[in-house]
């Protein structure tokens, strides 16, 4: 596994930390509002599914690292907005948009890992991608769960937003960006 694959897998893991932390945060936020968390989680899922279909159906402009940086950056900013603790309607709308940012990010991550892995190692690369996703999700969930139980709500969403924004920065810092834009 080369530096490109490790960079992509790190971005994947950080994005998954954000997703895991946000899902736990959303449940805590719903409890704080005295609401069932179902509509909050469903909004994220629906936004992700619809945006994934839209992304897959259109021809995309810009490089894959740029597209991923935009999606993760938007995701991080929207998490910050959720972290302000808005009411149910605003939260559901924000979470719909959060899902819309993360759905295409998953597809872009898979395209990046495929583009930077030789054909003979594709299965191994996708196994590593799945592992990075699950490890990141578990880490984000655990961190946010501890934060939600012992600190204000925004602490858990800050963990999620920070992970997404660090991943974004790694995609726009020139030396790392150049590495992902080079042909394998």
What string of DSSP letters covers 101-167? HHHHHHHHHHHHHHHTS-GGGHHHHHHHHHHHHHHHHHHHHHHHHHHHHHS-HHHHHHHHHHHHHHH
**Per-residue pLDDT reduced to its tens digit, 31-88:** 989 999 999 999 999 999 999 999 988 877 788 889 999 999 999 999 999 999 899 9
**Per-residue pLDDT reduced to its tens digit, 147-165:** 998 988 889 999 999 999 9
**Cβ neighbourhood burial of 166 (10 Å; 0-12, 13-18, 19+):** middle
**What is the value of pTM for the model shown?**
0.90
Distance CA 1, CA 118 (A): 10
pLDDT for res 181: 60
**Pair 156, 31: CB distance under 8 Å:** no
Closest CA to 122 of 5, 22, 3: 5
For residue 1, name the pLDDT band (cuts at 50, 70, 90). low
Closest CA to 75 of 155, 136, 14: 14
pLDDT for res 50: 95
């Amino acid at each position: 596994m080369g530096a490109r694959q490790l960079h992509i897998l790190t971005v994947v893991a950080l994005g998954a930390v954000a997703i895991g932390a946000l899902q736990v945060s959303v449940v805590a936020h719903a409890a704080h509002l005295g609401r069932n968390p179902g509509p909050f989680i469903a909004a994220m899922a629906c936004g992700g599914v619809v945006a994934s279909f839209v992304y897959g159906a259109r021809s995309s402009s810009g490089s894959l690292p740029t597209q991923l940086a935009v999606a993760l950056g938007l995701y991080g900013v929207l998490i910050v907005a959720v972290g302000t603790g808005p009411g149910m309607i605003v939260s559901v709308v924000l979470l719909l948009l959060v899902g819309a940012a993360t759905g295409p990010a998953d597809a872009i991550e898979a395209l990046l890992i495929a583009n930077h892995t030789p054909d003979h190692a594709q299965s191994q690369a996708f196994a590593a991608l799945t592992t990075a996703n699950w490890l990141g999700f578990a880490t984000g969930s655990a961190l946010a769960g501890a934060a939600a139980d012992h600190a204000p709500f925004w602490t858990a969403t800050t963990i999620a937003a920070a992970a997404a924004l660090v991943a974004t920065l790694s995609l726009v810092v020139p030396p790392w960006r150049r590495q992902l834009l080079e042909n394998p």
